[in-house]
Structure 1
Amino acid sequence: MIAVRIAIITGASSGMGREFACQISRLYKNLDELWVVARRTERLKELQEQLTFPVRTFDGDLQREYIFERVERELDRHQADVRMLVNAAGYGKMGCFAKVDIKEQSGMIDLNCKALTKMIQICLPYFSKGSRILNVASAAAFAPQPGFAVYAASKSYVYSLSLALRTELKSRGIFVTAVCPGPVDTEFFERSGSLPNSFKSSVKVSSKEVVKLALMDSVRKKPVSVYGYAMKSARGLTKLLPYTWITDIMGAANKISEI
């Protein structure tokens, strides 16, 4: 059986995941199929109709085991060659830790960390030399963020895991890139809550540009993709300033108190 060359994208029904689906289908002509994963069935069908590329949809909740079983079963059935895996599924919830609902806190960990880890694990046997993994983290990964504590911590996990896997998988010719944007103009903030200060609002960027750079950085085998001077500068500051200073600054900016 000839292996089917595919790219897999989670969180493909909206935001950056959807943008990855659109750009990958235009840029990579050597793929046979695009596999897209998300909860919202209608959104996936719309995407499938929009793209002129062969698309296989997997509608399901990445916080449930059955969706991974479906993907793994199809990978085995097609003896797939996963040329690219994009983990774009995730969400955040702003607010003081004590006030955010525990289901939301746990959900962020389940989707942002556990689901991403599972997807990499089941795809790992189907990667080959030259395969790419893009994990959508966040500039929030660079430092603790009072007022966005669990989300930032979950993205720090994604960032750290990506850098470790990059070293582990290098000998197999598999390249991993952590995508770390700042605020992106997507539906993300409809669930997370509005941006707490004008600076963050002023540096919001388009998903199109973030994804374009991320794909270019993946081709260049870069370990981290950060879009824009503002976020690159913020990353530089987190390397220079003590974490206690950064958390105090972030806490003040987000106007967070203990309760």
Structure 2
Amino acid sequence: MKKSIVIPTLCLAVLSTPAFEKAVHAASPTGTKISSSDSTTKSVTKYVNVDANSSLLLRSKPSTSASTLDRLKRGTAVTVYSISGNWAKVKVDGKTGYVSAEYLVTTKPSSSTGSSSSTTTKYVNVDKGSHLILRSTASTSGSVLASLNPGTSVTVISTSGAWSKVKAGSQTGYVHSEYLTTTKPSSTSSSSSTTKTTTKYVNVDKGSHLILRSTASTSGSVLASLDPGTSVTVLSTSGEWSKVQVGSKTGYVHTEYLPSTKPSSTNNNSSSTTKKTTKYVNVDKG
């Protein structure tokens, strides 16, 4: 009788020990989460894969606006806890934060690969009369360091997405990658863009206006409001913006509203007044 009472009590004591709890967690299936915030179970080691002279930002939160905890060099080993979308939660040198998952690889990259690709000379390729803005950060909100003329040679240090980190003269900053070419644009091709000072016309609905701005941005100050059919001289076009001259004013407008043929006044009138039809209300009586 006494034995039957003692044995269950002893078993309960063993089952409640920390050693037993640890053994249960160790035997948990692979699908168990590390914590409620993590989406993966296994912490794996991965390596930073950026250009040799670049660094991967370790941030406090999975956002480009979050504070920077550290700058990780090429080949740095990190412990990956979880990956959610474009962000990976990692630990490195006692710091836990978030990095862009696309720059993590499973095998350590060689140092030679990064150094060879980091010294590339490219050239600014924009229309003559336009400039490529060199900014302090890889963002359109970064402060302007310089305005680079067409054909300017720059040393590309690294490229990440739409932005390239470059050195132009004594200044280092960021420019849009799409406006850099490996071959220097010829002066004839750039001069041909100046001879293309074509006349185009404002094509907006009657009663509307096309805004002429001081810069190629919706935040640029308003220089004038152009009526439908107004003729403008197009000096250059870059992306969705055209640099134009109207009378004594030079500014920027949206390219999509500039056709090469003058819209007829009848078209404008008809587009805004046509399709006026009379209809009647039809409801049940009572």
TM, length-normalised to structure 2: 0.18
**Higher strand content, 1 or 2:** 2
**Higher helix content, 1 or 2:** 1
